[in-house]
Amino acid sequence: MTYPNPTPASINLYIRRQQGRDVATNTKGKGLTVIIPALNEEARIGPMLNEYATTYPHAEIIVVINGTTDKTEDVVKGIERSHKNVRHVVYAERIGKGGAVQEGFSIARGEFIGFSDADNSTPPPEFDKLINALADDTSLAGTIASRRLPNSFVPQVQPFLRPHAGVMFNKIVRLFFGIPFKDTQCGAKLFRRQPLLAILPHLRIKDWAFDIELLYEFHHAGQRILEVPITWYDKAGSKLQLFRTSWKMLKSAMRLRLIHSPLRFLTGQR
């Protein structure tokens, strides 16, 4: 029996599948980069970082510390001494979560590049769901964690207004940007390297609307992003203040909508 010579497309498909298997199976994070933005997280980042570094010993884990006035860096350095797959960078000024994640993107070496919050609200068993879903479907550019799908679960009882505010904000986002996702703000996301690098030059926002713009650019480029239901753990010590944060998020989303419109000059953007 004779077999046809492999085409460049079939070779590339095989490579992408193999890269996915490397990350998702028994190599424990080979080819994976996880970025952790950190602002004054000395009380929470130690256990989270230790769990990620232990679960994914062959992954690259990058902590981007910015504007910190506590001992976050000391805690991270302590973890680095026992986990060689962890490294960190420091920015003296506050650059926002979006700015921190983008700086991490710019130095990441993995084929799968993602980020997760320092409070461990998405622990490794839940992050694994993003890895497996992305590895299983080579047509996907990325996977994002969601708290608002039928199989999602939040064990802790939420303050009455918080989930309602989140649903309302999401409806505004979907109206403004035409993206289909039910949860743009969950703090765990994962992407393939090449599609991510292609959209990075288009990102302008570094504050609350960063996640929205990131997903908007993927959607606008015709790239497939899969929303994955997870169990999300609401951690003590959250800096979120509902009304103040909701207002900031709304203002940021409105500014982003202007940036992606003929009226962008009103924001000072070209």
Residues 262 and 270: their CA atoms lie apart, in Å, by: 10
Domains and CATH numbers, the chain: 15-158+183-235 (3.90.550.10)
Residue 11 has pLDDT above 60, yes or no: no
pLDDT tens-digit series, residues 51-106: 999 999 999 999 999 999 999 999 999 999 999 999 999 999 999 999 999 999 99
Token reading at 230: 């997870």
pLDDT grade for 159, boundaries at 50, 70 and 90: low
Whole-number pLDDT of residue 250: 74
Q: How many of the other CB atoms lie within 10 Å of CB of 232?
A: 23
First to last CA, the chain: 60
Residues 139 and 20: their CA atoms lie apart, in Å, by: 12
pLDDT average, residue stretch 146-154: 95
pLDDT grade for 236, boundaries at 50, 70 and 90: low
Token reading at 125: 């068993």
pLDDT grade for 158, boundaries at 50, 70 and 90: low
Residues 254 and 78: their CA atoms lie apart, in Å, by: 41
- Tell me the pTM: 0.84
pLDDT average, residue stretch 33-52: 97
Among 46, 69, 68, 49, smallest CA distance to 59 is for: 49
pLDDT, mean over the chain: 86
Spatial CB neighbours of 174, under 8 Å, sequence gap ≥ 6: 180, 181
Strand partners, 227: 144
Residue 189 or residue 161, greater confidence:
189
Lowest mean pLDDT, pick from 8-12, 133-137, 266-270: 8-12
